[in-house]
Amino acid sequence: MMRKSNSSAVAVLSFLVSVCLPAHHAHAAGALTVASPDGKIVVTFELKSNPQPYLPGERAYYRVDYEGKPILADSPLGLDFTGARSLDRDFEIVDMDRHVHDDQWTNAFGAQRDVHDHYDQLRIALREREAPRRRVELIFRAYNEGVAFRYFLPQQPNLQGFKLMAENTGFYFAQEATAFALNLGRYHSPYEGEYRRISLDEIKPESIVNLPLLVHLQGGPWAALLEADLTDYAGMYVGAVPGFEHALMSRLSPAPDRRLDELVIASTPKPTPWRVLLIGSRPGELIEHNYLILDLSAPCALADTSWIEPGKAAWDWWSGSYAANVNFKPGMNTPTMEHYIDFAAAHHLPYMLIDAGWSPENDILHWIPEVNIPEILAHAKQKGVKVILWMNWANVKKQIDQAFPLFEQWGVAGVKIDFMERDDQEMVNFYEEMVRKAAAHHLVVDFHGAYKPTGLRRTYPNLLTREGVMGLEYNKWSNRETPEHDVTIPFTRMLAGPMDYTPGCFNNATREQFKARDVQPMCQGTRAHQIAMYVVYEGPLSMLADYPENYDDKPGMKFIEQVPTVWDETVVPNGEPAEFVTVARRKGDTWYLGSMTNWDERDLDVPLNFLTRKQYEAQIYADGADANKNATSLSFAKQFVKPGDTLHLHLASGGGAAVVFTPVP
């Protein structure tokens, strides 16, 4: 598929801080609306006058309703330019059109193979009434899954090259709400932290809240704020609006080597990213519909994707240079890497990921003496295993044009690129450069130290996964990575796309037993909790974090071997953020289910309405009877089930369950 042209994208408005004040209905222009195909979601756009003398002119607002109830009240739109008047007032509508789009595309590398792209669109062309009479177009799309809008600045004599000082797009929620927020308080970060359950009004004007932001309106639906098609632009965050309840305003990430009033440097024609609001009556709907981020992103730019292989990978870093009962000293050396390759081959894992330390610190064109890369790659090829190499992004930046062709020549299959920890315009552009050049040399990509996904993986599906989440590694030095966190991130971070959480710890511990340690690390929660992650967490490239001997002949390994990493269909039978989650995913005719709880022991009744064949054999991996005291305890049972049945699961504290449903002939 061809990539979207700029003409289908959209734009940039400007907005003074004063426009944060609410609109008044006096002197209101006629409202324009667009509704979702099922009629449940309505977006309204209006030009409205505000009577305050310091806010002259008509300004642009939008609002969103769901099933007749307001989600967003009148919310302002706009951008401030550096060295030019804000494009934020005194508009006239010079053109308007509507468009209905109903299509489907295939995603072979995600959680939903057949992706529906169905929306009603409203495009509004505005022009300033007074000189310099600049023009801007607003495009609103209403999907059954949510709302998206963006701005497009067409090419025009009075607005050519520009520098963006601020985007002041408002998200003024209509009532009090609970939020699950990642508020790291800074723009430059690896997006690693807890999503805290707070009141929406606990977000302050000085807050720098990462996306996704999950919001639950009182007595109403769930909504998640995200962005899509982040291209040649700065990443978006939100903070509160001074003096107004439930009101958020966009913030853009600054580059470290630019002035703070030059967040985006561009020229017309220019689109902005999509501002996205996923909406559902239950939180699990948002997980089911996270493909909306891909719908809004540019189609695949690669003519051939047959070389891209999703799958699982052995990984040497987590265990801390440890192996049991081996005749070599474990570490970053050739025997250890070949040991992991042998393990991958024995358990049908497509990949081995060689992590940090294989190369000199500032050079990815060579290897250290202890790690014979040609020998390792030859051994991997003989075993039918592909190799992925870790590298620091700074080395990639300076050596990319030499390194990527060299890796292809060596026979390397992919790269794990780490420590970017930024999403300003420069870094956003470098992400695209990295995946584009990696694709040219048949390299799959795993970004770590990364910002949240925004749909780039649709355009370049060799981008299999990325981190951008507080994952399993935090157990090595803290107790922060808890079962409560584990059942929160499916409803928050995962709404943006795959997350390389690196599951698979088999040294499971109860809350009382857990101790953070670097070598042979523990993880919090049960064995069943860990293996359930391979279904619950979306990850086309998924690690097996532990060392080989901790998997061999251990309960649960058979499930990990057989579970896929890409899917044909996804449903979420039940779940509540920070409490528990159940996700079912289909590959072919077989369904897989993962269920996880926080530290609360609980019983779950899972409706099996997603099953479609007459009868299935359910292979159930569940917490053992003593799992509250022995977190490695895992039971296995079989039973026959049919559509409409209810599967009863007992989850221990920090527990889980993993189930395979195989059709009975």
Q: At what angle do helices 334-346 and 373-383 cross, to 10 degrees?
A: 10
For position 249, which CATH number holds? 2.70.98.10
- Left (φ > 0), alpha (ψ -120 to 50) or beta: where does 23 sit? beta
Which residue has better confidence, 20 or 459? Answer: 459
Q: Domain check: are 20 and 101 in the same one?
A: yes
Instruction: Give the Cα separation of 462 and 181 in Å (integer).
Output: 30
Q: Domain check: are 376 and 492 in the same one?
A: yes
How confident is the model at residue 56, as a pLDDT?
59
Which of the four pLDDT bands, split at 50, 70 and 90, describes residue 90?
Answer: confident
CA distances from 429 to 23, 264, 404, 439 (A): 36, 11, 18, 16
Phi, psi of 524 (to 5 degrees): -90, 130
- Domain termination site, one of 521, 541, 560: 560
Q: Domain check: are 216 and 321 in the same one?
A: no
How confident is the model at residue 298, as a pLDDT?
98
Which of the four pLDDT bands, split at 50, 70 and 90, describes residue 2?
Answer: very low
Q: Tokens 């289910």 label which residue?
A: 593
Q: What is the DSSP string of 382-430?
A: HHT-EEEEEEEHHHHHHHHHHHHHHHHHHT--EEEEE-----SHHHHHH
Q: Domain check: are 101 and 37 in the same one?
A: yes
Which 8-state DSSP code applies to residue 173?
B
Q: Domain check: are 375 and 419 in the same one?
A: yes
CA distances from 568 to 113, 380, 558, 583, 584 (A): 4, 30, 22, 13, 11
* Amino acid letter, 575: G
Asked whether residue 301 is assigned to any structural domain, the reply reads no
CA distances from 149 to 123, 139, 227, 232 (A): 10, 5, 10, 17
SS3 assignment, position 637: strand
SS3 assignment, position 45: strand
Look at the chain and report how many structural domains it folds into: 2
638 burial (CB, 10 Å; 0-12 / 13-18 / 19+) is: exposed
Q: Domain check: are 234 and 342 in the same one?
A: no
What is the rounded average pLDDT of the residues 571-576?
A: 98
CA dihedral 239, 240, 241, 246 (to 10 degrees): 140
Instruction: Give the Cα separation of 626 and 420 in Å (integer).
Output: 43
How confident is the model at residue 480, as a pLDDT?
98
pLDDT in tens, 177-205: 999 999 999 999 999 999 999 999 999 99
How confident is the model at residue 412, as a pLDDT?
98
Q: Tokens 């009556």 label which residue?
A: 281
The rounded radius of gyration (Å) of the Cα atoms in the chain is 25
* Amino acid letter, 28: A
Query: What residue ranges in 68-183 does DSSP mark as E strands?
Result: 69-76, 79-81, 91-106, 114-128, 135-143, 146-153, 161-167, 170-172, 177-183
* pLDDT(294) > 50: yes
Average pLDDT across the chain, whole number = 94
How confident is the model at residue 89, as a pLDDT?
85
Least confident of 130-134, 263-267, 438-442: 130-134
pLDDT in tens, 515-562: 999 999 999 999 999 999 999 999 999 999 999 999 999 999 999 999
Q: Domain check: are 343 and 266 in the same one?
A: no
pLDDT in tens, 350-391: 999 999 999 999 999 999 999 999 999 999 999 999 999 999
pLDDT in tens, 100-114: 999 999 999 999 999
Asked whether residue 458 is assigned to any structural domain, the reply reads yes
Contacts of 604 (CB under 8 A, 6+ apart): 574, 580, 582, 595, 597, 648, 649, 650, 651
What is the rounded average pLDDT of the residues 209-235?
A: 97
User: Residue 471 belongs to what domain range?
Assistant: 312-560
Sign of CA dihedral 607, 612, 617, 619: negative
Instruction: Give the Cα separation of 176 and 195 in Å (integer).
Output: 19
Instruction: Give the Cα separation of 45 and 235 in Å (integer).
Output: 25
20 burial (CB, 10 Å; 0-12 / 13-18 / 19+) is: buried
461 burial (CB, 10 Å; 0-12 / 13-18 / 19+) is: buried
- Domain termination site, one of 560, 595, 614: 560
How confident is the model at residue 5, as a pLDDT?
34
Asked whether residue 98 is assigned to any structural domain, the reply reads yes
Q: Domain check: are 337 and 290 in the same one?
A: no
* pLDDT(29) > 80: no
How confident is the model at residue 87, as a pLDDT?
87
Query: What residue ranges in 431-516 does DSSP mark as E strands?
Result: 444-447, 463-466, 508-509
How confident is the model at residue 51, as a pLDDT?
54
Q: How many residues does the chain have?
A: 665
* pLDDT(117) > 70: yes
Q: What percent of the chain has pLDDT over 90?
A: 92
Asked whether residue 605 is assigned to any structural domain, the reply reads no
- Does residue 254 contact residue 424 with C-beta atoms inside 8 Å? yes
- Does residue 352 contact residue 380 with C-beta atoms inside 8 Å? yes
Which of the four pLDDT bands, split at 50, 70 and 90, describes residue 320?
Answer: very high
243 burial (CB, 10 Å; 0-12 / 13-18 / 19+) is: exposed
Asked whether residue 400 is assigned to any structural domain, the reply reads yes
Instruction: Give the Cα separation of 566 and 544 in Å (integer).
Output: 16
Q: Domain check: are 48 and 114 in the same one?
A: yes
pLDDT in tens, 479-515: 999 999 999 999 999 999 999 999 999 999 999 999 9
Asked whether residue 37 is assigned to any structural domain, the reply reads yes
Which of the four pLDDT bands, split at 50, 70 and 90, describes residue 163?
Answer: very high
For position 472, which CATH number holds? 3.20.20.70
Q: What is the DSSP string of 204-250?
A: -TT--EEEEEEEEETTS-EEEEEEE---SSPPEEEEEPTT-TTEEEE
- Does residue 660 contact residue 592 with C-beta atoms inside 8 Å? yes
pLDDT in tens, 31-86: 999 999 999 999 999 999 865 444 556 889 999 999 999 999 999 998 899 999 88
- Give the residue among 476, 464, 485, 484 at the shortest CA–CA distance from 505: 476
Q: Domain check: are 324 and 281 in the same one?
A: no
SS3 assignment, position 479: coil
Sign of CA dihedral 408, 410, 414, 415: negative
How confident is the model at residue 219, as a pLDDT?
86
Q: Domain check: are 33 and 135 in the same one?
A: yes
How confident is the model at residue 24, as a pLDDT?
37
Which 8-state DSSP code applies to residue 526?
-
Asked whether residue 503 is assigned to any structural domain, the reply reads yes
Which 8-state DSSP code applies to residue 145?
S
- Give the residue among 85, 80, 61 at the shortest CA–CA distance from 13: 80
160 burial (CB, 10 Å; 0-12 / 13-18 / 19+) is: exposed
Which of the four pLDDT bands, split at 50, 70 and 90, describes residue 12?
Answer: very low
How confident is the model at residue 6, as a pLDDT?
36
Asked whether residue 594 is assigned to any structural domain, the reply reads no
Instruction: Give the Cα separation of 618 and 587 in Å (integer).
Output: 15
How confident is the model at residue 394, as a pLDDT?
98
Contacts of 596 (CB under 8 A, 6+ apart): 483, 486, 487, 525, 529, 532, 533, 536, 580, 581, 582, 651, 655, 656
SS3 assignment, position 612: coil
What is the rounded average pLDDT of the residues 312-339?
A: 97
What is the rounded average pLDDT of the residues 124-150?
A: 96
- Domain termination site, one of 295, 330, 357: 295
* pLDDT(433) > 80: yes
How confident is the model at residue 581, as a pLDDT?
98
* pLDDT(347) > 70: yes
Q: Domain check: are 14 and 129 in the same one?
A: yes
SS3 assignment, position 515: coil
Instruction: Give the Cα separation of 169 and 25 in Å (integer).
Output: 20
